[in-house]
A and B are shown apart, each in its own frame.
Chain A
């Protein structure tokens, strides 16, 4: 048997999705949850999760990337058309594509599934996923579940957590 990492339900070997919480049980193909290493080690959740250091060249070669304002870290958005942004806590059924936990996202008021970035051809949009503290684009709060187009340099605030978007 294999154990679902999200809800600890037991599934047969060969199952591709958890039948209880819907989490994907194989992560080989696309958009695995990326946890970016926080420059100040010591946050336990960062070391527990799968870590991946982004080289600056990778970040630069990517068409779309986001910058964590607090730390200056750049996260390239590649390999998918959709990226959910949020943080990981305890027994949550589905994980965000971009996990902001190591950046003290909880203190910043980021919900577990806070927002989703979509890259569709030339158009890049953000939608709030009904988060507790809301999503702001250039200081204006956006309505939940609405597609809001983004342009290069837009400042996004997830609750009080600021990120900047770069589009090449």
Chain B
């Protein structure tokens, strides 16, 4: 008997989902994929799948019949584990809003040592605008050639360059002898302006050529410039990519690129955004990025949810494996779950005043969904209900150390965010206050160099000068780097990469 299509996976709900959960999942998917809003060619099928899944699962009789044809769930243990930590166990019943933090750690099951290699479908989208000329472009070309040589035979690597137009240098093809393209990579020349949309669009097309769920599908965008006027179109591509689980990660070189824009672009798909200060670091960061992708256990991890009544999700941030601010509306794209490591996010909820008769507050209800390429039915779903009990005058309780550690450093990053907002609004006094506080904290926590960079910017702001782009990025990505787990410093991914995968 042929295996029937996995309707549960299509909707991203667990097998024992309630009719309400099914209805909600269908509604959300339909909003994204309905032909009225999603005009992309070939996409109607995706919508029809969802439609068909809903028709079957929403009807109790059809669903019962369908369930009988399904192969038994192949796994005895869940394909991933979730560990939750809250800032407090009991919420006080009070007549004013209050904050609650949740730390969500997702990891592969304990025994998953990670022998299986996840094949890649990666497209490098390389900026070849005039400003890339010289060392930057040379390093990029050499690294690209290295990657072409080192990737596994099962991997797909395509390369696109762009300035004010895009060009496919290495097409997406599984069978192709990639080394034949080395000369073509070597001949990439610089010239023209930076129009990111051109590159992104071409890169997205290349990924789509061999798009399959068993691959890790990812676009790596490398740029040193600012794009003008096409940001909205770029975001549209990111949204389409997110629906399919195609990630977009950005590497920004030097000072001129638009970090706010690229952060958002990456966040839409759960990708990462990295600041590369010097050309000499391009090789390391680019290879680290690709290595990270090849260690993927699950791709396209997302949190699909609805909030409790009048609850607001004020802030979402990924602490590991990569540092990144996240979107705050459902579904939140969380990125990749790597073998032998933990995906860690922190959520800040603002809870409305709690009436006296209430003893339980729902923060967010939904599910963690991910694609695990090594499973025969790749989509894995687990419910996630975030809630807290409420009581009048609960005994005071200390916040767990793990929560304090995560938030103390995140606080510094957020002070930096406040400062740069105030700077862009022209509020010198307020910006100075935030920056001075940031510097004091950095000194006290043992980061004097970063603190001095902050103080330099304070002086510039006070002199009525513009903040330097370099300083701004150094502070932003510097405070972000503080959030990396301490063990990451000792870890040298580059060496492992060069030994190759067994």
Please tell me if B17 contacts chain A, counting CB pairs below 8 Å.
Answer: no
Asked whether A12 lies within 8 Å of B98 as measured between CB atoms, the reply is yes
Mark out the residues of chain B between 89 and 117 whose CB falls within 8 Å of any chain A CB in the assembled complex: 91-92, 94, 96-101
Asked, given contacts A16-B87, A16-B399, whether A113 binds B440 with beta carbons under 8 Å apart, the answer is yes
Residues of A within 8 Å of B351, CB to CB, are 14
Q: What's the tally of chain A residues with a CB closer than 8 Å to chain B?
A: 30
Interface size class of B (residues with CB under 8 A): 35 or more
Asked whether B99 lies within 8 Å of A22 as measured between CB atoms, the reply is no
Mark out the residues of chain B between 356 and 406 whose CB falls within 8 Å of any chain A CB in the assembled complex: 396-399, 401, 403-404
Please tell me if B444 contacts chain A, counting CB pairs below 8 Å.
Answer: yes
Please tell me if B437 contacts chain A, counting CB pairs below 8 Å.
Answer: yes
Asked, given contacts A16-B87, A16-B404, A145-B448, whether A94 binds B399 with beta carbons under 8 Å apart, the answer is no
Asked whether A22 lies within 8 Å of B415 as measured between CB atoms, the reply is yes
Asked whether A13 lies within 8 Å of B448 as measured between CB atoms, the reply is no
Residues of B within 8 Å of A94, CB to CB, are 440-441, 444
Q: How far is the CA of A20 from the CA of B358 in the complex (A)?
A: 32
Mark each residue of chain A from 1 to 29: 1 if its CB lies under 8 Å from any CB of chain B, else 0. 10000010001111111111110101011
Residues of B within 8 Å of A29, CB to CB, are 398-399, 401, 404
Q: How far is the CA of A30 from the CA of B408 in the complex (A)?
A: 13
Please tell me if B29 contacts chain A, counting CB pairs below 8 Å.
Answer: no
Q: Is the interface of A mostly helix, strand, loop or mixed?
A: loop
Asked, given contacts A29-B398, A116-B446, A127-B446, whether A22 binds B441 with beta carbons under 8 Å apart, the answer is yes
Asked, given contacts A20-B433, A26-B398, A127-B446, whether A14 binds B441 with beta carbons under 8 Å apart, the answer is no
Please tell me if A108 contacts chain B, counting CB pairs below 8 Å.
Answer: no
Please tell me if A130 contacts chain B, counting CB pairs below 8 Å.
Answer: yes
Residues of B within 8 Å of A21, CB to CB, are 415, 437, 440-441
Known: A13-B97, A21-B437, A28-B396. 20 other contacts (CB 8 A): A12-B97, A13-B96, A13-B98, A14-B87, A14-B100, A18-B411, A19-B415, A21-B415, A22-B437, A22-B440, A26-B404, A29-B398, A30-B401, A92-B440, A93-B440, A94-B440, A113-B444, A129-B443, A129-B444, A144-B448
Which chain A residues have a beta carbon within 8 Å of chain B's beta carbons? 1, 7, 11-22, 24, 26, 28-30, 84, 92-94, 113, 116, 127, 129-130, 144-145
Which chain B residues have a beta carbon within 8 Å of chain A's beta carbons? 87-88, 91-92, 94, 96-101, 350-351, 396-399, 401, 403-404, 407-408, 411-412, 414-415, 418, 433-434, 437-438, 440-441, 443-444, 446, 448
9 tightest Cβ-Cβ pairs between the two chains A and B: A28-B398, A14-B99, A13-B98, A17-B411, A14-B98, A145-B448, A21-B437, A22-B441, A12-B99
